[in-house]
A and B are shown apart, each in its own frame.
Chain A
Amino acid sequence: MPLLEDGRILPDAWVGVDDDAPLPEGPVIVPLARLAEAAGRNAPLGVSIGNDVGVDALAPWLPRLALVQVVLPKSKDGRAFSQIRALREYHGFAGEIRVAGHVIPDHYAMLLRCGASTVVVPEGADPAVWQASRHVVRIAYQHAQSAEQPLALLRRKVA
């Protein structure tokens, strides 16, 4: 599926691996249970976590991880937003945070504010629609993880 970053569809170098499929060469995204097995390889490592996983469970692996993928099983299930924010704020994770599942353009700006990097979008998705949705509201009233310029009171301009 296409990968969206910053308004563009990018080539995706990562390969997602299921519970029991053999591990291929190169960068892989594995389930939590296979982290130990995959970590020994000499290739970039990513993990995909369900939205009921507390990100603290990843703490020992974070130095080794280049990517964490979170998932929205349904568009209205917002647990991933807290997972993303916790990865950035509590763990200082600086790698890629990728969002998969039932993501819609209306999530996009908030996902980025929580600290997401990329979104797996549906086949044929128009990046312009996502980009427009991202930029439609430029004022925010609360601290978040993305770049922002303070304005008076609680307000800030979202970059």
Chain B
Amino acid sequence: MPEAPFLRPPQHARTYRYDAVDREFLAERIAEFRGQVQRRLAGALTEDEFKPLRLMNGLYLQLHAYMLRVAIPYGVLNATQLRQLAYIARRWDRGWGHFTTRQNIQFNWTKLVDTPEMLEALAAVDMHAIQTSGNCIRNTTTDEFAGAAPDEVADPRVYAEILRQWSSLHPEFTWLPRKFKIAVRGAEEDRIASRTHDVAVQLKRDAAGEVGFTIHVGGGMGRTPILAQPIFDFVPEAEFLRTMEAILRVYNALGQRENIYRARIKILVRDLGRDGFLELVNAELARMPVEPYRLAPEIVQAISAHFAPPPFAPADGAAAALERATAADAEFADWVRLNTRPHRQPGYASAVISLKPVGGIPGDATAEQMEAVAELAERFGFGELRVSHTQNLVLPHVHQKHLHALWQGLRAAGLGTANFGQGTDIIACPGLDYCALANARSIPISQQISERVDALDRAFALGELQIKISGCINACGHHHVAHIGILGVDKHGAEAYQITLGGAPGNDAAIGELIGPSFSYDDVAGAVETILRTHIAQRLPGERFLDTYRRIGQAPFKEALYAAA
């Protein structure tokens, strides 16, 4: 391979490393926002005019304060960056941050005047809050095991980074009808809830080994949950950005703008039909020049170099040693069984750091915890970190011989919970404790359910179970695609919760079905327990809740929930 005439990243760069050009862009962007904040504070911009501008810089006005949402591009960050997030949490917030289902982090107690300084602190570590909000192309999400998973055919981080760059301040697509979310995965197994996104990209390889893309379009949650439909089976790599442009062109021109509940691309695709939409995209492609939009292989190569694998050590009999260590310590064995995933490199594993202590707040981490994780990442994981859409952190590359020390370090920081993918690994949005749009609280409900599920799990081993909670129909907590989904609604001015069953986010994606009338704040955790007890009574040996539900249907659950009343 000839030396790319582009950037020369360090040997194992871990994250996309900015060069002078990227830094100039970021500095200019912050200067622009500083000017906008000044114009707003001076009254030269109305709140109406300022709102879309601040949103494009990640700044939301919440119930009690501004909230700054910081982009963690495709959930990838390094230890230095995590330390800086801890610093920001301490300096300008109340000492913690909240990791979101969009693989971002939110600071909930931000002052408007502080935001330009916070953005500068982020820029110092090549981070930003660009397009984490507003009606533009948002942070692209991807698989938290990218670059480590054994089943990956190509690295999704490379294409997610290309999308990040292409979508940054896109001149045509910055004032879209509504927000636009793209997810990219590199494996057949869907670990990223692909079909809930406006566009879902799956990397494939053809017979010659060339990368191409299967593209689904028109997924989304919110008031009208719809799973994305396939429109292209194999877009060649060179055509990637051209195809994205074409999809966005159709959406920008024809997406509804009058009613925000009808403005997402899912409604356009539904109204036009998958074929009708595809026809319009093809019409754009037929007219677009090819060369200016071509994704050159040299660019892909140069960006790929940023994600080169770290210098792995030999396996060195680590698997056998790990087996001995787990045999000697049941708690550690639990954590290894639940919170580690296989790695393509012999002797290595990916380790999930649960941000879901039983009874805790999903996704929250204190500044001290962030610092502890940063240090563990440096000691045991090449300084590389991921944020998962399930609101957990991941060390993608840990040598098996270090897992025990890692686990001990995590436990010391209160981060040793062994529950990844289990019932207590609850996804919950901030809800009425913070969010201006909420109908009901999510956090305390999640805490109550977590306690009950934990007790049941200890007694009955529930196995894989996904419980997800949203405080309103915007569905930031992904409740539609939960095995047990909980949605906060307003019932005559009181908080109430609807329960849906049977949803799933992955390859067998499905939208959950409403089980019946809503439950009060006091009753909802008990209702979840009733559902799980029904599952326990009905399950075949080793059967997950979802499979029991799919096998026996709603009726037994309905009866258990409502018959007594």
Residues on A facing B (Cβ under 8 Å): 54, 75-79, 81-83, 85-86, 89-90, 104, 106-107, 109-111, 113-114, 132-133, 136-144, 151-155
Listed from nearest, the 9 A-B pairs whose CB atoms lie closest are: A78-B175, A113-B171, A139-B25, A110-B171, A143-B292, A141-B165, A136-B32, A137-B28, A152-B6
Chain A residues contacting B528 (CB-CB under 8 Å) are none
Write the chain B residue with the least CB distance to A155: B21
Separation in Å of the A65 CB from the closest CB of chain B? 20
Q: Which of B105-113, B249-257, B320-328, B383-391 contacts A (4 or more CB under 8 A)?
A: B249-257
The reply to whether A153 and B171 contact each other, CB–CB distance below 8 Å, is no
Q: How far is the CA of A137 from the CA of B128 in the complex (A)?
A: 15
Q: Is B24 an interface residue (CB 8 A)?
A: yes
Q: How far is the CA of A153 from the CA of B175 in the complex (A)?
A: 25
Q: How far is the CA of A100 from the CA of B481 in the complex (A)?
A: 44
Q: How far is the CA of A151 from the CA of B166 in the complex (A)?
A: 14
The reply to whether A79 and B252 contact each other, CB–CB distance below 8 Å, is yes
Write the chain B residue with the least CB distance to A135: B28
Q: Is B334 an interface residue (CB 8 A)?
A: no
The reply to whether B35 and A132 contact each other, CB–CB distance below 8 Å, is yes
The verdict on A78 contacting B170 (CB below 8 Å), with A132-B35, A139-B24 known, is: no
The reply to whether A77 and B21 contact each other, CB–CB distance below 8 Å, is no
Q: How far is the CA of A154 from the CA of B562 in the complex (A)?
A: 58
The reply to whether B52 and A81 contact each other, CB–CB distance below 8 Å, is no
The reply to whether B299 and A82 contact each other, CB–CB distance below 8 Å, is no
Write the chain A residue with the least CB distance to B24: A139
Q: How far is the CA of A142 from the CA of B302 in the complex (A)?
A: 17
The verdict on A76 contacting B175 (CB below 8 Å), with A152-B5, A152-B21 known, is: yes
Could you say which of B31, B253, B299 contacts A79, with CB atoms under 8 Å apart?
B253
Chain B residues contacting A154 (CB-CB under 8 Å) are 162, 165-166, 299
Residues on B facing A (Cβ under 8 Å): 5-7, 19, 21-22, 24-25, 28-29, 31-32, 35-36, 45, 48-49, 52-53, 135, 162, 165-166, 168-176, 241, 249, 252-253, 257, 287-289, 292-293, 299, 302-303
The reply to whether B169 and A140 contact each other, CB–CB distance below 8 Å, is yes
Chain A residues contacting B52 (CB-CB under 8 Å) are 75-76
Chain A residues contacting B25 (CB-CB under 8 Å) are 137, 139, 141, 155
Chain A residues contacting B166 (CB-CB under 8 Å) are 141-142, 154
Separation in Å of the B331 CB from the closest CB of chain A? 47
Write the chain A residue with the least CB distance to B45: A104
Q: How far is the CA of A79 from the CA of B251 in the complex (A)?
A: 9
Most chain B CB neighbours (cut-off 10 Å) among A54, A89, A152? A152
Q: How far is the CA of A142 from the CA of B137 in the complex (A)?
A: 14
The reply to whether A138 and B28 contact each other, CB–CB distance below 8 Å, is yes
The verdict on A137 contacting B32 (CB below 8 Å), with A78-B174, A104-B49 known, is: yes
Write the chain A residue with the least CB distance to B48: A75
The reply to whether A136 and B171 contact each other, CB–CB distance below 8 Å, is no
Ordered by A's residue number, 29 sampled pairs between the chains whose C-beta atoms are within 8 Å are A54-B253, A76-B175, A77-B175, A78-B174, A78-B176, A79-B252, A79-B257, A81-B252, A85-B172, A106-B32, A106-B49, A106-B53, A110-B169, A111-B171, A133-B35, A136-B31, A136-B32, A137-B28, A137-B29, A139-B22, A141-B168, A141-B169, A142-B165, A142-B166, A143-B292, A152-B19, A152-B21, A153-B303, A155-B25
Could you say which of A81, A143, A153 contacts B165, with CB atoms under 8 Å apart?
A153
Write the chain A residue with the least CB distance to B6: A152
Chain B residues contacting A89 (CB-CB under 8 Å) are 288-289
Q: How far is the CA of A114 from the CA of B173 in the complex (A)?
A: 10
Chain B residues contacting A109 (CB-CB under 8 Å) are 171
Separation in Å of the A116 CB from the closest CB of chain B? 10
The verdict on A82 contacting B172 (CB below 8 Å), with A138-B28, A154-B166 known, is: yes
Chain B residues contacting A86 (CB-CB under 8 Å) are 249
Write the chain A residue with the least CB distance to B36: A106
Beyond contacts A82-B249, A110-B171, A152-B302: 8 other A-B pairs, Cβ-Cβ < 8 A, are A76-B175, A78-B175, A81-B174, A89-B289, A104-B49, A139-B24, A142-B241, A153-B165
Q: How far is the CA of A78 from the CA of B45 in the complex (A)?
A: 19
Chain A residues contacting B19 (CB-CB under 8 Å) are 152
Most chain A CB neighbours (cut-off 10 Å) among B49, B162, B302? B49
The reply to whether B28 and A144 contact each other, CB–CB distance below 8 Å, is no
Q: How far is the CA of A111 from the CA of B172 in the complex (A)?
A: 8
The reply to whether A77 and B36 contact each other, CB–CB distance below 8 Å, is no
The reply to whether B135 and A76 contact each other, CB–CB distance below 8 Å, is yes
Could you say which of B21, B36, B175 contacts A81, with CB atoms under 8 Å apart?
B175
Chain B residues contacting A142 (CB-CB under 8 Å) are 165-166, 170-171, 241
Q: How far is the CA of A133 from the CA of B252 in the complex (A)?
A: 24
Chain B residues contacting A107 (CB-CB under 8 Å) are 175
Chain B residues contacting A54 (CB-CB under 8 Å) are 253
Separation in Å of the A93 CB from the closest CB of chain B? 14
The reply to whether B28 and A153 contact each other, CB–CB distance below 8 Å, is no
Separation in Å of the B169 CB from the closest CB of chain A? 6
Could you say which of A78, A110, A140, A152 contacts B252, with CB atoms under 8 Å apart?
A78
Chain B residues contacting A104 (CB-CB under 8 Å) are 45, 49
Chain B residues contacting A139 (CB-CB under 8 Å) are 21-22, 24-25, 28
Q: How far is the CA of A107 from the CA of B45 in the complex (A)?
A: 13
Could you say which of A77, A136, A153 contacts B299, with CB atoms under 8 Å apart?
A153
Write the chain B residue with the least CB distance to A78: B175
Q: How far is the CA of A152 from the CA of B305 in the complex (A)?
A: 14
Separation in Å of the B126 CB from the closest CB of chain A? 14
Separation in Å of the A57 CB from the closest CB of chain B? 13
The verdict on A110 contacting B32 (CB below 8 Å), with A138-B24, A153-B6 known, is: no
Chain B residues contacting A106 (CB-CB under 8 Å) are 32, 36, 49, 53
Most chain B CB neighbours (cut-off 10 Å) among A89, A141, A151, A153? A153
Chain A residues contacting B287 (CB-CB under 8 Å) are 90
The reply to whether B28 and A136 contact each other, CB–CB distance below 8 Å, is yes
Chain B residues contacting A132 (CB-CB under 8 Å) are 35
The verdict on A143 contacting B293 (CB below 8 Å), with A90-B287, A152-B21, A153-B302 known, is: yes
Q: How far is the CA of A152 from the CA of B5 in the complex (A)?
A: 8
Write the chain A residue with the least CB distance to B295: A154
Write the chain B residue with the least CB distance to A76: B52
Chain A residues contacting B35 (CB-CB under 8 Å) are 132-133, 136
Write the chain B residue with the least CB distance to A104: B49
Separation in Å of the B59 CB from the closest CB of chain A? 14
